[in-house]
A and B are shown apart, each in its own frame.
Chain A
Amino acid sequence: MADLTIPERIPINLVVNGERRALEVVPWTTLLDALRDRLELTGTKKGCDHGQCGACTVLIDGRRVNSCLTLAVMKDGAEITTIEGLAKDGTLHPLQQAFIDHDAFQCGYCTPGQICSAAGLLAEGRARGADEIRELMSGNLCRCGAYPNIVAAIEQAMSRS
């Protein structure tokens, strides 16, 4: 017989966009829900909630991941970077500026995930051209179809980084 008692909330510490945040979560809280609903960082979007669209992409300890498929309790002590944490001292991150320069969105819903994913891609250093950008960004869908401009924006940021 499964234990049906509701677990206690578990205290965790996260460093979110450079700021230490302490919170208590039930085990089934995803990192996405913790960021949006508990820490009120709603820049990270909930799209499919199944790891298929990439709208929830954030960086954990510098690596891009789907926050919808991540349990917050498992990331106790981790450093999280969301779209809100990319600009520094009032200056846009080069990827944010490149997305504006290239009009790399229409509705904008996928954009935070696209930009966080692209930040992960640049850090990985595996993409050298447009084909590789397309392949390594395939985890981020854009239903508006802004892909050509997204690739152009990432090429710009890549050439300047």
Chain B
Amino acid sequence: MNNFQYSRASDVADAIRLLAADPGAKLIAGGTNLIDLMKENVERPSRLIDISRLPLRDIEETADGGLRIGALVPNSDLAYHPLIEQRYPLLASAILAGASAQLRNMASVGGNLMQRTRCPYFYDTTTPCNKRSPGAGCSAMDGLNRNHAILGTSTSCIATNPSDMSVALAALGALVHIARPSGQRTIALTDFHRLPEDKPHLDTNLGSGEIITAIELPPHGFARNYSYLKIRDRLSYAFALVSVAAALELEGNAIGEARLALGGVAHKPWRSLEAEAALRGQAATPDHFGRAADLLLQGATARSHNGFKIDLARRAIVRTLMQAASATPQSQAHKKIA
């Protein structure tokens, strides 16, 4: 880990001022990803601005019946919050599918959105990586790319976003509240992360000097028909090969509203409005779910080792939608797949 200066922000405005004063500075809250990357010399901040004591830990109901979640709420506190368990169990399930109990206790909601890819070449400073060093080249493209992206890739980068929480937030239509020197702005979670294109060093659309202050959930939580299914190489504490967040509004066996997002397959949570539209008004059957899966996976491409993910994703999507339709969501503790 490099030597760095340490500042403790007294409020959000102070954190923004400190960020503006030092272009090499980084914010730190839980630190679970940043400190790891600093130990690998992938991140070498000149200064850490400690925002962990800022008052951004509330979970409050909004006027329209949604929820506003402070950016510093620990992942575990969010997953176990009664309002999340009751009204947004898809989000609770996705959070509990990620990391370990210790890391969930430390990691903040805002930090979860800011976590970086676990592409091993990004972590290995002896190999070229366009995300780490723009223009250096991509070692994963023709390297060991079994875990890499199949959707939205570019010739520069095939890294995936590792977050489980973000997949559920994408499906639920969450918003991200951002503070910046000139005030505040709000963007959709699905617009927060970006595709790699020719700038894979940029994971998100958060501008320099901006800070995530809260996540907002819309009123509709899909608390009855939902499931989060995470497929990985070991049963717990591993990143997804493919994960699926599915949420349905059913009238009898007819689908009123459908939400579908994938994790582990792209540089951002992967959602397709076309696939969701194709489900509306249809019966909740494996055939219709398969058609939605095909639409969601449209344009999927594989490199040398990750072609299996396309078939795996298709099956996982159908399975997750079946779990959601039958109101038997995947349990994150009992690993049997219903």
Q: Is B one of A's binding partners?
A: yes
Which single member of A10, A28, A50 contacts B36 (CB below 8 Å)?
A50
CA distance A74 to B108 in the complex (A): 14
B237 touches A131 (CB 8 A): no
Which single member of B6, B32, B235 contacts A51 (CB below 8 Å)?
B32
Whether B50 is near chain A, meaning CB under 8 Å from some CB there, is yes
Residues from chain A with Cβ under 8 Å of B38 in the complex: 28
Q: CB-CB contacts of A35-55 with B at 8 A, as 1s and 0s?
A: 000000000000001110010
A65 touches B105 (CB 8 A): yes
In the assembled complex, the CB of B329 is this many whole angstroms from the nearest CB of chain A, namely 15
Whether A18 is near chain B, meaning CB under 8 Å from some CB there, is no
Instruction: List which A41-85 residues lie within 8 A (CB) of chain B.
Output: 49-51, 54, 57, 63-66, 69-71, 73-74
CA distance A135 to B22 in the complex (A): 42
In the assembled complex, the CB of A64 is this many whole angstroms from the nearest CB of chain B, namely 5
Give the most central of A51, A64, A121, A140: most B CB within 10 Å: A51
B236 touches A3 (CB 8 A): no
Residues from chain B with Cβ under 8 Å of A132 in the complex: 333
In the assembled complex, the CB of A96 is this many whole angstroms from the nearest CB of chain B, namely 19
Q: Given A26-B3, A51-B36, A131-B333, A139–B237 Cβ distance below 8 Å?
A: yes
Whether B173 is near chain A, meaning CB under 8 Å from some CB there, is no
A136 touches B32 (CB 8 A): no
Residues from chain B with Cβ under 8 Å of A106 in the complex: none
The bracket for how many chain A residues form the interface is 35 or more
CA distance A6 to B3 in the complex (A): 7
B237 touches A7 (CB 8 A): no
Residues from chain A with Cβ under 8 Å of B80 in the complex: 124, 126
Q: Which residue of chain A lies nearest to B44 when distances are taken between CB atoms in the complex?
A: A2
A70 touches B102 (CB 8 A): no
Whether A27 is near chain B, meaning CB under 8 Å from some CB there, is yes
Q: Given A30-B35, A126-B80, A3–B5 Cβ distance below 8 Å?
A: yes
Whether B117 is near chain A, meaning CB under 8 Å from some CB there, is no
Which single member of B4, B5, B32, B50 contacts A66 (CB below 8 Å)?
B32
CA distance A27 to B1 in the complex (A): 11
CA distance A135 to B334 in the complex (A): 8
In the assembled complex, the CB of A79 is this many whole angstroms from the nearest CB of chain B, namely 15
Whether A111 is near chain B, meaning CB under 8 Å from some CB there, is no
Which single member of B32, B101, B106, B236 contacts A124 (CB below 8 Å)?
B101
Whether B328 is near chain A, meaning CB under 8 Å from some CB there, is no
A138 touches B4 (CB 8 A): no
CA distance A134 to B334 in the complex (A): 10
Residues from chain B with Cβ under 8 Å of A117 in the complex: 101-102
Whether A112 is near chain B, meaning CB under 8 Å from some CB there, is no
User: Residues of B with Cβ closer than 8 Å to A?
Assistant: 1-6, 22, 24, 28, 31-32, 35-36, 38-39, 46-48, 50, 52, 76, 80, 99-103, 105-106, 235-237, 332-335
Closest 4 CB pairs of A and B: A139-B100, A2-B46, A138-B236, A27-B6
In the assembled complex, 27 residue pairs joining A and B whose CB atoms fall closer than 8 Å, in A order, are A2-B22, A7-B3, A7-B4, A26-B3, A28-B4, A30-B35, A50-B36, A50-B39, A51-B32, A51-B103, A54-B100, A64-B101, A66-B106, A69-B36, A69-B103, A70-B35, A74-B31, A120-B102, A124-B101, A134-B236, A135-B333, A136-B101, A136-B333, A137-B101, A138-B101, A139-B99, A139-B102
